[in-house]
Structure 1
């Protein structure tokens, strides 16, 4: 007769079963999706003039009042200085019969206006409250402002006096995509950043041209039904004369090969700054975007640890057709002596350029370095994804309507892409993204 009181498993077997159960739970916890990354919802409609409006929202925002609106354009001008001047004038005292800037008028309404441009697109942004006592007067003011801004001559003259030359960023853009007549000979800062004068009539015409080159309007945040109706009405009025952009594939035949421009270099001068840039392929997936975040964090962290470098700043221009990356390096010249000046500067420049070549990138080859950067990125992302402002950046400067990586694609897939991201994904993406032969560098000596 069987003994019903006999244990089903012996103690060694029971211990083994418990061990396997513990391991299974641990493995599942590693592979389970992160609950801290929200999955937003997207709603889409068109204005009466046919401009797409894309509304991104998430459940946690129902208790907040922050709303972000972005008007995105893609004008046909290749003149970044014209876009810069037009948007700067718009953000100044461009309200009719007013000497106050637009933001001085918006502050009492808990609102703020901003702008952004790159070599392909122009963005007008608004941060406002969804509470009706603030929302209604804000939309009324903004509608009058954007429908017919007043670009004043005195304000334009003052801007021109303060901005007589291109920024280094505009110069690097020219080196990457348009400029053909630059040589590798030493030059002066004034020569390399020379710019063609812009007239006020050009600014006025450029703003009107923006209206015929609309891409989309993005609304990020929570909108109760009454707020949504008010926003819909205002967007219809503002975009009444907008037309969709005629998107034309831009040729890259003018892209030039790698080159170095030396500014103010003399026999006894020391390296002060360098501006580096490399073209990348357009983003086609969230995985490629994540790879750039890891790569950029590695670049900044590694170079900032160099004793010969004071600090490094990284900028990503993730435009739809011709994206690129720049990093600006400030050198610690007090470490350079007359005896070793040339050798020291060669080492500095070699360290700065290494991140163009995948085989020299620390996180590309070292799994521990990669894992550390990835975990830091995930922690930061858990905070960033709670912000409507962060999502407005993703909507307008990372994803692009009509391209492979849209806001809908990003919102629906970013969580899974990050949870399953591997070092192999990272290596494969960097090999595809970085166009090593396009590397440009501006060296500034003093």
Structure 2
């Protein structure tokens, strides 16, 4: 008969069991993965002209109709104004015999178009519905549009007259960082752009294709329809050749002052090494969040804007700081001397990045990044940006490697890997700063 007054196990045995249970739970937690991130599936084929097509889908999209379509090109040029003008003209009334913009024509079909560019890469972006009643007329319209766009003289003249005389910050910093060997400020607008150049550059895009990306759910009929349309659209496309490295200068750190008076804004840029794996991409996300948060904490700064351009050969980062009233003098509220302020250039050095030297701060930023990722990875638009602006078809990190490895990379990421990645990626000797006074 069972005696309830007598313990089933002796105290040493019970302690050993409890220890074993604790170790088992710890081991399970150690090897467990974050199942909140979706696992995408990637399928690929080639068009009849030999252009790779990469299709990414996930189970979470099975009952959705949104599809992102991206045509990716690699046509490097020092004339970024030409890229900007060509893509702006394409997104305008470039349909033959039409005065409506492409988006005015696409809107009734539950579709839209836009574009992305940097000094190395260009992307034509389409958002479509996979429903047959919308997909068929959309692809018919897009095939006619992209195969033979009509760049009209009156539209070009209107665009030229409406353009601001000051180049976008992106163009200004690209010139100083990559193309200006004498480190003199050169405006992209100082290079004249003609309609003939626009027409010629669009043809150059066709001969510098890298891949076509499809992000979203495609029923079998929709997939077959889209395959046929892509064959027609890309029939004149050619695979991009290796970029001409001679157009890029080796940047050396410099500071350029514009006007005189009180410092109003600084525009900073730094060259990066090409991203070769997912953990390097994660490192740049955390570094960027740290940079913005660190600079925004200072009372003399109104706001900070940061952008990462992870192009395949010559990636770079730029940030713009808008200042308040007191910049170069001691802070009146904290009595902090000016020499203790955090200056923009300091964050270009890996050893001076706060999160690389503070494990608690690193973990906080990593946790925030993971939380954002859980929502972002459910979006086809986010994946299309990863496909065309982070991964590269012929690079060390392509979309398939990212999709198959990002879960493990996020789960196992450490501060030591972060420190090593920043040391390799950041190139402080390339730092450029434009100081704008008023």
TM range (shorter): over 0.9
Q: Aligned partners of 2:337 and 2:139: how far apart in 1?
A: 54
Structure 1 pair 205–230 and aligned structure 2 pair: CA distance change class (3 A): same
Aligned: 1:322 with 2:322: no
Q: Aligned pairs, how many?
A: 434
**Aligned residue in 2 for 1:247:** 242
Q: 1:346 to 1:150 in 2, by over 3 A?
A: farther
1:73 paired with 2:73, answer yes
Any idea what SS the aligned residue of 2:38 has? coil
Question: Which digits, 9 at most, give the CA deviation of each residue in 1:25-66, with x for residues without a partner?
Answer: 145224411101112111111111111101111111111111
The whole-number CA distance in structure 1 between the counterparts of 2:369 and 2:304 is: 19
Q: Is 1:216 the counterpart of 2:225 in the alignment?
A: no
Deviation of 1:253 (Å): 6.8
Aligned to 2:224: 229
Match of residue 179 from structure 1: 180
- Judge conservation of contact 1:212–1:245 (CA < 8 Å) in 2: yes
How high is the TM-score relative to the length of structure 1? 0.92
Matched, 1:351 2:351: no
Deviating 4+ runs (over 4 angstroms): 3-8, 191-194, 336-341, 343-350
Give how far 1:4 is off.
13
Tell me by how many angstroms 1:108 deviates: 1.0
CA drift at 1:168: 2.0
Distance in 1 between residues matched to 2:397 and 2:339, nearest whole Å: 38
**For residues 348 and 108 of structure 1, what CA distance do their matches in structure 2 show?**
57
Deviation at 1:24, TM superposition (A): 3.2
- Contact preservation (8 Å) 1:54, 1:218: yes
Counterpart contact for 1:282–1:319, Cα < 8 Å: yes
TM-score between the two structures when normalised by the length of structure 2: 0.93
3-state DSSP of counterpart to 1:181: coil
What's the Cα RMSD here?
A: 2.5
**2:367 maps to which residue?**
375
Q: Is 1:49–1:239's contact at 8 Å kept on the other side of the alignment?
A: yes
Task: Look up the match of 1:428.
Answer: 420
Aligned equivalents of 1:370 and 1:440: distance in 2? Answer: 26
1:35-184 alignment runs, 5 A limit: 35-163=35-163, 164-183=165-184
Structure 2 counterpart SS, 1:395: helix
Q: CA deviation at 1:142?
A: 0.7
Q: Which moved more, 1:135-144 or 1:14-23?
A: 14-23
In the alignment, what sits opposite 2:264? Answer: 272
Q: What are the Cα deviations for residues 135-172 of structure 1, in whole angstroms up to 9, with x where unaligned?
A: 11111111111111111111111111222443221121
Structure 1, unaligned stretches of length 5 or more? Answer: none
Aligned partner of residue 63 in structure 1, secondary structure: coil
**Residue 200 of structure 1 pairs with residue 195 of structure 2:** yes
Is the CA contact 1:308–1:348 (under 8 Å) kept in the aligned structure 2? no
Taking a change above 3 Å as real, the CA distance of residues 340 and 424 of structure 1, as seen in their structure-2 partners, is: closer
Aligned to 2:258: 263
Work out the CA distance in 2 between the residues paired with 1:434 and 1:159: 37
Where structure 2 has 5 or more consecutive residues not aligned to the other structure, the ranges are none
